[in-house]
Structure 1
Amino acid sequence: MPVATYGVLDLTGWDMPRDGPIAINGQWEFSWDRLLSPEDFSPSVTPPEPSGFMTLPGVWKGHQLHGLPLPGHGQASFRLRLLPQPGEHQLALRIVAVNAAYRLWAGGKLIAESGVVGNTAEAETPLRSLVLARFESRAAPIDLVLQVSNHAFHRGGVQNAIMLGLPD
């Protein structure tokens, strides 16, 4: 089963109808204390330097950054480049238990959100939910950009695997 390495998940050899859904686990680009959107990665701008890589599923509390452990509260952005199987496909992501609010884009389009992402507890509206987000794959690389804020729970991050599969 493919696993993300250095922010890239190669699915060119994974046949969804035959092989089934896959957890998009592994190393995602990680940008601590920044809420980045797809515009921050457009070809017309210099992309921001990530803080590093973080293995998802996982929580950022205790994650080492510049030799220091991160707190449970805060905000971060994650990015993963999917290299899909050839051909056009309808795909879906199953997202559950992201602490505490998030927004997710695929190929620059907002496809899922839960709660209201914020830089402070007052600006954030936490909501833990199960979301099935659909998007199209046209055999070109697809960037997933995920904003997560957590000012409500003990540990922030993505605690369960995000599953990728066919919409059914």
Structure 2
Amino acid sequence: MMDLAGWEEEQHTRIKLDGTWEFYWNRLLTPEDFRRTAQDQSRLPAPAYMAVPSTWNGKVIDNQPLSAYDYATYRMVLKNLPADGVYAIKKTNIRFSSTVYANGQKLFADGTPAEAAANYRAGNLPQIGFFSAEQGDVEIIVQVANYDYINAGIPVSPYFGGQAAMMDFQQKTMTQEFSTFAILSALSLIFIICFLTAAYYQRKDFTLLIFAAVCAIIAVYNGLIGERPCICTSLGHLLRCCTK
């Protein structure tokens, strides 16, 4: 639970949803499950609790260490939302598939969380979802499953905030990260051209290739973290090609 009674949106436009979440191991629960539980307390077991951000593998529940290759549901209630409005939840990294709900509404799914590996599909790209909420409480439910990666859970903070502020931050971050990727890629290309030009005049300088490699490695690294502009741009191009 997180109390938003003192939240001043003008000063703190985004809130990290860090803290202790309810955690239901080996359950993929929906908002409907919790509505039924409110009427019949015997339907669900008492929750365990899991810190966010963190990974669940290695944690112990009921004296049993948790495997990375399994599934679970996280739940948090934001108490005392100060005003009605359109809000957003942003996830950057949930390993390695997820579905996110807010106030009973499915915001987005990344991959397909499933109880069996045969029905599971991996997916882990930054996503943002919007929903309307009235003053009061906001229930957030996150289904997570992993059958691919060496650790699982929510290792990076999700965010909550107003629609306009979250979109503005998203666009600025994407622009900054893509610009960094583009500049480093261009520098790498320039160093390669300089090396080839020098080689043409029989004055090879292999330090130029080293600089090119360093810029390329840093560009790829920056393109694969944060908003991951390298992956998102490639997927967008692929989808456009497939729909032509």
TM-score, normalization: structure 2? 0.63
1:123-144 CA distance string (max 9 Å, x none) = 1100111101111221121111
Contact 1:79-1:145 within 8 A present in 2 as well: yes
Given candidates 130, 154, 158, the residue that maps to 1:158 is 154
Mapping 1:16-55, distance limit 5 Å: 16-42=9-35, 43-46=38-41, 48-55=44-51
Contact 1:30-1:50 within 8 A present in 2 as well: no
1:66-108 CA distance string (max 9 Å, x none) = 2232111100001101114322121111101111111111111
2:77 counterpart SS class: strand
Are 1:113 and 2:86 matched, yes or no? Answer: no
Going from structure 1 to structure 2, the CA distance change for 1:71 and 1:113 (only over 3 Å counts) comes to same
Task: Give the equivalent residue in structure 2 for 1:9.
Answer: 2
Sequence identity percentage: 24
2:11 counterpart SS class: helix
Task: Give the equivalent residue in structure 1 for 2:92.
Answer: 96
Given candidates 57, 60, 65, the residue that maps to 2:61 is 65
1:76 maps to amino acid = A
Contact 2:103-2:140 within 8 A present in 1 as well: yes
In structure 2, runs of 5+ residues without a counterpart are 165-244
Q: How many pairs does the alignment contain?
A: 161
1:39-73 CA distance string (max 9 Å, x none) = 11114443512441000111110111122321111
2:151 maps to amino acid = R
Moved over 4 A (4+): none
2:81 counterpart SS class: coil
Separation in structure 2 between the aligned mates of residue 56 and residue 126 of structure 1, nearest angstrom:
21
Contact 2:113-2:143 within 8 A present in 1 as well: yes
1:18 counterpart SS class: coil
2:141 counterpart SS class: strand
1:28 maps to amino acid = W
Q: Which stretch of structure 1 is more off in the superposition, 47-56 or 123-132?
A: 47-56
Task: Give the equivalent residue in structure 2 for 1:144.
Answer: 140
Greater relative contact order structure (CA < 8 Å, 6+ sep): 1
Contact 2:90-2:160 within 8 A present in 1 as well: yes
Pick the structure with greater CA Rg. 2
1:141 counterpart SS class: strand
Contact 1:94-1:132 within 8 A present in 2 as well: yes
In structure 1, runs of 5+ residues without a counterpart are 1-7
Task: Pick the structure with more helix per residue.
Answer: 2
Task: Give the equivalent residue in structure 1 for 2:219.
Answer: none
2:29 maps to amino acid = L
Separation in structure 2 between the aligned mates of residue 56 and residue 71 of structure 1, nearest angstrom:
17
